[in-house]
């Protein structure tokens, strides 16, 4: 097939719409549903991300995409009991690929509501069973087992979008797009990201553990497919906070850091043991947790709302308790798609437990940024690679 007609473009008034190849066959096959224009933008961007993560680490990878940026991305590492509870997968038999998606979805469950899913490997039954329980628009993978495909085809009353991509497909080296009738052309960003990009350690701390290197690569590859400006926090083989599409670097750092802090606070015993009613759905639990963690919790949730959500009114998570919990966080890494112009980004990153950073370098204030890292013993590598994505 050289083209696929779509219902409409980004918005319902944008017709006609299609995806097509000027030469050769489309590398994607729709196995179920009717994916739209934005679905395919998410699918093709997210597929590249997980494909590169698998190539860079050798581990299964998954991504959760919304509006052409990742809400989460992760590797297929086992989950402990706390993460199983946080990600609503307690008691399930999880394959490595299922662990990857549970982690990707769990990075920012609020943003992942209605996500597009990308998997680096053939979707198995274990992964499909997780997808079955989540609110999601569609999925792309290099293949599906018969059991997994049957589960996915039954989702959303049979209308769930399932796309298969040819894993051997290699796009043309030159890519084009139109804006306002003007055609833009550039070489595809096919530069491979590897550990050699972490060798130029410019700080006094020149030690990176194997886990930090893995997570820094995860950050860089995630940023490669995140709308710029962008900053990414990661820990334990998964993204825990993404700040995408901001005009200011510090706002990226703050946005991603706030998301990372929420992820950390979801580990708190008070959050893990919230007395939810049995009839409260996953999305409503995630919404309630987000509000419970917020500073204006008592103002937002009145007695009636509490009663509709919990069996008993929970004790608040105080500002002092949150501060104490976050003060113990360490081992987080951070990546930036362009240089940090000021040391304030490092100050904000440190508050979220960041101990290692990768960024391109090249600011006239690099010395200030390095000095700020040195003040806190943070290791920082200059990768020399800007990763803008638009």
Q: Decide if 180 is inside a domain.
A: no
Active-site position among 32, 39, 161, 229? 229
Asked if residue 383 lies in contact with residue 197, where contact means CB atoms within 8 angstroms, the answer is yes
Among 114, 324, 336, CA closest to 223: 336
Q: Is residue 291 part of a domain?
A: yes
Please say if 32 is a catalytic residue.
no
Would strands 115-119 and 136-141 be described as parallel, antiparallel, or unpaired? parallel
Is the residue at 308 inside a domain? yes
Nearest to 272 by CA among 281, 263, 259: 263
Task: State how far the alpha carbon of 281 is from the alpha carbons of 134, 277, 278, 287, 309, in Å.
Answer: 10, 9, 8, 10, 10
Domain for residue 178, yes or no?
no
Same domain, yes or no: 18 and 96: yes
Query: Nearest Cα to 225, choosing from 37, 380, 71?
Result: 71
Distance in angstroms between the alpha carbons of the first and the last residue of the chain: 27
Is residue 342 domain-resident?
Answer: yes
d(CA 87, CA 110): 12
State the catalytic residue, choosing from 67, 85, 267, 322. Answer: 67
Catalytic, 229? Answer yes
pLDDT of residue 298: 61
> Among 13, 157, 328, 390, which one carries the catalytic annotation?
390
Same domain, 136 and 252: no
Q: Which of 170, 205, 233 is the last residue of a domain?
A: 170
Q: CATH number of the domain at 136, please.
A: 3.40.140.20
Residues 352/261, Cβ–Cβ less than 8 Å: yes
Rounded Cα–Cα distance for residues 21 and 174 (Å):
13
* Residues 237 and 378 placed together within one structural domain of the fold: yes
Residues 283 and 368 in one domain: no
Same domain? For 63 and 110 the reply is yes
Please tell me whether residues 71 and 159 are part of one structural domain.
yes
Best CA proximity match to 102, nearest among 86, 125, 81: 86
Q: Establish whether 66 is a catalytic residue.
A: yes
Return the closest-CA partner of residue 192 out of 298, 311, 56: 56
CA distance linking residue 259 with residue 282, whole number of Å: 19
Q: How many structural domains are present in the chain?
A: 3
Whether residues 235 and 95 share a domain: the answer is no
**What number of CA atoms fall less than 13 Å from residue 292's CA on the CB side?**
28
Structure confidence at residue 234 (pLDDT): 98
In a shared domain, residues 207 and 343:
yes
pLDDT 10s per residue in the chain (390 long)? 589 999 999 999 999 999 999 889 999 999 999 999 999 999 999 999 999 999 999 999 999 999 999 999 999 999 999 999 999 999 999 999 999 999 999 999 999 999 999 999 999 999 999 999 999 999 999 999 999 999 999 999 999 999 999 999 999 999 999 999 999 999 999 989 999 999 999 999 999 999 999 999 999 999 999 999 999 999 999 999 999 999 999 999 999 999 999 999 999 999 999 999 999 999 999 999 999 998 766 665 566 667 788 998 888 899 999 999 999 999 999 999 999 998 999 999 999 999 999 999 999 999 999 999 999 999 999 999 999 999
* Burial of 52 per CB tally in 10 Å (0-12, 13-18, 19+): buried
Asked if residue 277 and residue 250 are part of one domain, the reply reads no
What is the residue-wise DSSP string for 229-262?
SEEEEEETTEEEEEEES-SSHHHHHHHHHHHHHH
276 in the same domain as 355: no
Tokens of 202: 């410019």
Active site residue 67: yes
Q: Are residues 231 and 201 in the same domain?
A: yes
As beta bridge partners, residue 62 has 74, 119
Of 39, 51, 54, 66, which is the active-site residue?
A: 66
**Residue 321 counted as domain residue:** no
Residues 247, 276, single domain; the answer is: no
Residue 308: give the domain boundaries.
269-316
What's the pTM value of the predicted model, to 2 decimals? 0.95
């Amino acid at each position: 097939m050289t083209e696929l007609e779509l219902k409409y473009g980004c918005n319902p008034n944008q017709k006609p719409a299609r995806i097509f190849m000027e030469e050769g066959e489309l590398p994607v096959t729709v196995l179920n549903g009717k994916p739209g224009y934005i679905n395919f933008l998410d699918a093709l961007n997210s597929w590249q991300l997980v494909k590169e993560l698998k190539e860079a680490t050798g581990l299964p990878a998954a991504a959760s995409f919304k509006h052409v940026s990742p809400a989460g991305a992760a590797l297929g590492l086992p989950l402990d009991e706390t993460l199983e509870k946080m990600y609503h997968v307690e008691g399930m038999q999880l394959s490595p690929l299922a662990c990857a998606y549970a982690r990707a979805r769990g990075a920012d469950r609020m943003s992942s509501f209605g996500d597009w899913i990308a998997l680096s490997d053939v979707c198995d039954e274990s992964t499909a069973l997780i997808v079955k329980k989540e609110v999601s628009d569609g999925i792309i993978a290099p293949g599906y087992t018969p059991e997994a495909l049957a589960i996915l085809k039954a989702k959303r009353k049979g209308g769930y979008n399932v796309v298969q991509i040819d894993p051997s497909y290699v796009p043309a080296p030159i890519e084009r797009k139109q804006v306002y009738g003007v055609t833009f052309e550039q070489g595809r960003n096919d530069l491979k990201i590897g550990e050699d990009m972490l060798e130029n350690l410019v700080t006094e701390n020149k030690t990176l553990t194997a886990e930090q290197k893995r997570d820094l690569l995860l950050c860089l590859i995630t940023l490669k497919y995140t709308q710029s400006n962008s900053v990414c926090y990661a820990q334990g083989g998964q993204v825990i906070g993404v700040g995408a599409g901001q005009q200011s670097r510090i706002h990226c750092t703050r946005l991603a850091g706030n998301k990372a802090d929420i992820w950390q606070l979801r580990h708190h015993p008070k959050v893990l043991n919230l007395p939810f009613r049995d009839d409260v759905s996953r999305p409503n639990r995630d919404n309630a947790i987000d509000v419970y963690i917020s500073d204006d919790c008592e103002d937002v949730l009145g007695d009636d709302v509490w009663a509709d959500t919990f069996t008993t009114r929970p004790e608040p998570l105080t500002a002092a308790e949150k501060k104490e919990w976050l003060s113990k966080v360490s081992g987080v890494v951070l990546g930036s798609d362009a240089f940090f112009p000021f040391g304030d980004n490092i100050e904000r990153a440190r508050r979220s437990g960041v101990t290692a950073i990768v960024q391109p370098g090249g600011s006239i204030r690099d010395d200030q940024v390095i000095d700020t890292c040195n003040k806190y013993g943070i290791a920082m590598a200059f990768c020399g690679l800007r990763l803008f994505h638009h």
